[in-house]
Amino acid sequence: MRTKELVKMYVKEFLPFLEYALIVSVVLLLFSVLESEQKFRLNDFQNQFISIPYIFDFFALLCVSMNHNRFKLAIQHGIDRKDFWKAKLMLMAKASLVVNVINLVFVLIIMKMHGMNSLAYTSTYFGFFHSYFIDVIFMFITDYIALLLLMVCVNCFGTFASLFNRYGKICFYLILAAMYFFVGSILAKYSVVASFTHFLGRIHTEVFLNLVFGLYENQKLHPYSNPIHIIISMLIMLAIAAAFNLLFTKLVQVKR
Amino acid sequence: MSKIEIKHLKKRFKFSKEPLFTDINITFEENQIYGLFGENGAGKSTLMSLIADYNFVTAGEVLYDGEPVHDNSKALQNIYYMSQNNMYNKNDKVKKIFDFVSKLYVDYDVELQNRLVKKFRLDESQKFNKLSTGYKSIVRIIISLCVPCKFIFMDEPTLGLDARNREVFYTSLIETYSENPRTFVLSTHIIEEIDQIINHFILLQDGEIKMDSSIDDISEKSYSISGPSEDVDKYIQGINVLDSDQLGRYKTVHFMDELPNREKPESVDIEKMKLQKLLIYVMEKEGK
pLDDT 10s digits, B221-247: 888 888 998 888 888 888 888 888 888
Which residue in B has a C-alpha nearest to residue A250's C-alpha?
B71
Angstroms from B174 CA to nearest CA on chain A: 23
* Domain assignments of chain B as residue spans, ordered by start: 3-214, 221-287
Mean pLDDT in residue range A127-140:
87
- For the ranges B4-8, B82-86, B97-101, B159-163, the lowest mean pLDDT is seen at B82-86
Angstroms from A219 CA to nearest CA on chain B: 53
Angstroms from B225 CA to nearest CA on chain A: 43
pLDDT, residue A218, reads 67
pLDDT 10s digits, B138-153: 999 999 999 999 999 9
Q: Which of A1, A83, A254 sits opposite B54 (nearest CB)?
A: A254
Query: CB B197: neighbour CB atoms within 10 A?
Result: 17
For residue B194, the 8-state DSSP code is: H
pTM: 0.83
B185 sits in the region (left: phi over 0; alpha: psi -120 to 50; else beta) called beta
Q: Tell me, yes or no, if A4 comes closer than 8 A to chain B by beta carbon.
A: no
Angstroms from B267 CA to nearest CA on chain A: 53
Hey, are the CB atoms on B89 and A13 less than 8 Å from each other? yes
Mean pLDDT in residue range A80-89:
92
Kindly indicate whether the domain formed by B3-214 is annotated with CATH number 3.40.50.300: yes
Q: What is the CA radius of gyration of chain A?
A: 21
Residue of B81, B104, B136, B187 for testing the chain A interface, max A β-carbons within 10 Å:
B104
Distance CA A143, CA A126 (A): 13
Those of residues 107-166 in A touching chain B at CB distance below 8 A are 165
Residue of A63, A70, A75 for testing the chain B interface, max B β-carbons within 10 Å:
A75
pLDDT 10s digits, A207-236: 777 777 877 766 666 677 788 888 999 999
Please state the φ and ψ torsions of residue B155, each to the nearest 5 degrees: -95, 110
Hey, are the CB atoms on A5 and B89 less than 8 Å from each other? no
pLDDT, residue B286, reads 61
pLDDT, residue B218, reads 79
Task: Tell me the ipTM for this assembly.
Answer: 0.80
Residue A171 binned pLDDT confidence (cut-offs 50, 70, 90): confident
Give the residue, A34 or A151, on which the prediction is more confident.
A151
Which of B44, B64, B21 lies closest to B183 in space, CA to CA?
A: B64
Query: Which residues does chain B have within 8 Å of residue A253's beta carbon, measured at their own beta carbons?
Result: 54-56
Which of A7, A93, A27, A24 lies closest to A59 in space, CA to CA?
A: A24
**A255 pLDDT more than 80:** no
Q: Tell me, yes or no, if A9 comes closer than 8 A to chain B by beta carbon.
A: yes
pLDDT 10s digits, A94-120: 999 999 999 888 888 888 877 766 677
pLDDT, residue B159, reads 86
Hey, are the CB atoms on A81 and B71 less than 8 Å from each other? yes
pLDDT, residue A76, reads 86
Which residue in B has a C-alpha nearest to residue A74's C-alpha?
B87
Angstroms from A85 CA to nearest CA on chain B: 12
**B288 pLDDT more than 60:** no
